[in-house]
């Protein structure tokens, strides 16, 4: 087995279990304990794990509890977001019933949606700007009731949860603040996390759109496991994610 393959296996075990032992890894990888110790030492030196006596433990991720406003997020990684959104729009087909999550990356999907679909695709979104831009393009849009948040311009609350609970989406396009092998998809705010999780539960296929800066980051609240969605990104910084879910990389 190549060293890169051993690295990927060790990191995957850490993501799932939080800690690994040298002797166990040696048996699983069919290699010597000295080889495993060397691999762990190199991964420790590169900042991927923390070496301890007899094995290794996962790094404690820094948790982001701050929620940026729309204008701040809109200005970040624009080329990557456009490339991701352009691909996502190609996944919307005739007769789809689509949920679009509030967020700057998901909003960028709207200009790229095929205009010939205006009579056959229905949308639900909890994003005020998303709804307006979809209507301007001639699409039929449904807004859930609830509370409007000033920072993200997203509709949240019990009314929105109840509305989504009655829907059966063919596709869902979701944004995220963080992506982590063990914590999954995360966001700083509980109410938005609940809406996201509800939409995912009621969707046949979910796409999570995130540029490469979101990987290996954790925000306060998890809203889904990685294997619940296909991740669309401009660049995958850590190959361990390919062992967990479907990844689509697009060129920015």
The structural domains of the chain, with segments of one domain joined by +, span: 3-57, 63-249
Vertex 250, ends 129 and 184: CA angle to 5°? 70
Provide the pLDDT for residue 16: 76
Nearest to 56 by CA among 29, 19, 26: 19
Q: Which CATH number fits domain 3-57: 3.20.20.70, 1.10.10.10, 3.40.50.720, 1.20.950.20?
A: 1.10.10.10
Q: Output the average pLDDT for the chain.
A: 90
Question: Contact 40/49 with Cβ under 8 angstroms?
Answer: yes
**Distance between CA atoms of residues 52 and 23, nearest Å:** 13
Q: Is the pLDDT of residue 236 over 60?
A: yes
* pLDDT band at 45; cut points 50, 70, 90: confident
Tell me the two tokens of residue 194: 């609940």
Q: What pLDDT digit, counting tens, does each position of 152-204 carry?
A: 889 999 999 999 999 999 999 999 999 998 899 999 999 999 999 999 999 99
Give the least confident one: 63-67, 71-75, 127-131, 221-225. 71-75
DSSP 95-152: T-EEEE-SSHHHHTTGGGS-GGGTTT-EEEESBHHHHHHHHHTT-EEE---SEE-TTT
Checking if the pLDDT of 70 tops 90, the result is no
Q: Class assignment of domain 63-249? A: alpha beta
183 Cβ partners below 8 Å, 6+ apart?
61, 218, 222
């Amino acid at each position: 087995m190549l060293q890169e393959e051993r690295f990927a296996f060790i990191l995957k075990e850490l993501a799932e279990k939080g800690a690994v032992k040298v002797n166990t890894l040696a048996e699983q990888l069919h290699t010597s304990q000295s080889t495993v110790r060397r691999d762990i030492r190199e991964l420790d030196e590169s900042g991927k794990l923390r070496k301890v006596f007899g094995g290794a433990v996962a790094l404690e991720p820094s948790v982001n509890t701050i929620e940026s406003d729309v204008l701040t997020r809109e200005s970040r990684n624009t080329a990557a977001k456009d490339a991701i959104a352009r691909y996502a729009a190609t996944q919307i087909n005739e007769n789809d019933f689509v949920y679009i999550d509030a967020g700057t990356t998901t909003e960028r999907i709207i200009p790229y949606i095929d205009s010939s679909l205006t009579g056959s695709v229905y949308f639900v979104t909890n994003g005020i700007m998303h709804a307006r831009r979809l209507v301007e393009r001639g699409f039929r849009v449904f807004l859930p009731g609830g509370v409007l948040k000033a920072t993200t311009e997203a509709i949240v609350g019990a009314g929105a949860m109840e509305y989504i609970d009655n829907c059966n989406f063919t596709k869902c396009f979701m944004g995220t603040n963080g992506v982590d092998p063990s914590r999954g998809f995360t966001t700083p705010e509980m109410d938005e996390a609940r809406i996201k999780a509800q939409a995912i539960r009621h969707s046949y296929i979910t796409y999570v759109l995130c540029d490469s800066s979101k990987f290996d980051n954790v925000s306060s609240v998890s809203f889904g496991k990685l294997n619940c969605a296909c991740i669309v990104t401009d660049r995958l910084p850590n190959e361990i994610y390919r062992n967990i879910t479907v990844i689509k990389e697009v060129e920015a």
